[in-house]
Amino acid sequence: MSVIDLRRLTSTARQQALRVVLIGPPGAGKGTQAATLKERYGLAHISTGDMLREEVRRQSPLGSQAKALMAAGKLVPDVLILQMMAQRFQQPDVSRGFLLDGFPRSRAQGEALVAMLAAHNQPLHTVVQLDLQDEEIVRRLCLRRSCPACGRVYHLQSNPPAQAGLCDADGSALVHREDDNEATIRTRLAVFHEQTEPVIEYFRSIGLLQRVDASRPIAHVEHLVERMVQGALTRTSPLRSSRRLTISKFRSLGRAARG
């Protein structure tokens, strides 16, 4: 693909309100990749983990229900997540396109998402799966540090901040997340295999899934993800309507998901 093609597609993506899901195990790099895609395409970055941590910080009723489950590495119940997301989807920034990070995380959440988007004639363009082995995940998360102010993530070995302990973007003191200890990471992995893998299978079955090897260096993964997003955009372009997941097909999937 030439540079001109790439520029044209990026500009088309901005006009088309790109809708992408980043899915994968904890620590696969969803937040890291989301930060780049958000900048490039001007998307709303919707991270259910960040939203829940904000609820916990505000000590809201939802935050109180979520706090212990998050600290234990378990999922917050679908009904609470779907209520939170229904409100989030009403925000005006969603209309310029969005990137979902950490949602959906169960088959029920996935089917609800497809049904809701189908009802609004806004099919997903693609679901990008970041695939990574469990042992590498434990290594990554034990040494992760995050900025509590802007959400930027670092790794003490592979992606350290310029000045130890401080965020490059805003100078805030970096934190070690409470759930980033080995025992909780292993629980989160078990939850991923049991509850999130079925939704990955669901997206594969409806032809939306694309897999990326997330063990490569950050810049390389960025390149692979970019190629997949651009490819999905080309497939959904009106110029390639024969290959796209059409709105009518998406609607029928939405009806099937609603049962």
Q: Which of 158, 246, 248, 252 binds ligand AP5 (CB under 6 A)?
A: 158
For the CB of residue 37, give the shortest distance to ligand AP5 in the complex, in Å: 12
CA-to-CA distance for 137 and 129, rounded, in angstroms?
15
CA-to-CA distance for 47 and 171, rounded, in angstroms?
22
Q: Give the residue among 111, 101, 120, 130 at the shortest CA–CA distance from 209.
A: 130
For the CB of residue 242, give the shortest distance to ligand AP5 in the complex, in Å: 34
CA-to-CA distance for 63 and 76, rounded, in angstroms?
10
Q: Which of 148, 165, 198, 217 binds ligand AP5 (CB under 6 A)?
A: 217
Residue 172 has what DSSP assignment? P
Which single residue brings its beta carbon nearest to ligand AP5?
49
Q: Do the Cβ atoms of 162 and 55 come closer than 8 Å?
A: no
For tokens 């983990």, name the residue: 49
Q: Which of 154, 202, 203, 250 binds ligand AP5 (CB under 6 A)?
A: 154
Quote the tokens at residue 208. 């939306």
Q: From the candidates 107, 145, 188, 244, which is the catalytic residue? A: 188
Q: Is 48 in the site for ligand AP5 (CB under 6 A)?
A: yes
CA-to-CA distance for 21 and 167, rounded, in angstroms?
26
Q: From the candidates 19, 53, 67, 105, which is the catalytic residue? A: 105
Count of residues that bind ligand AP5 according to CB under 6 A: 34
Residues 162-181 that bind ligand AP5 (CB under 6 A): 179
Q: Which residues bind ligand AP5 (CB under 6 A)?
A: 26-32, 48-49, 52, 69-70, 73-76, 81, 102-103, 105, 109, 140, 144, 153-155, 158-159, 179, 188, 214, 217-218, 221
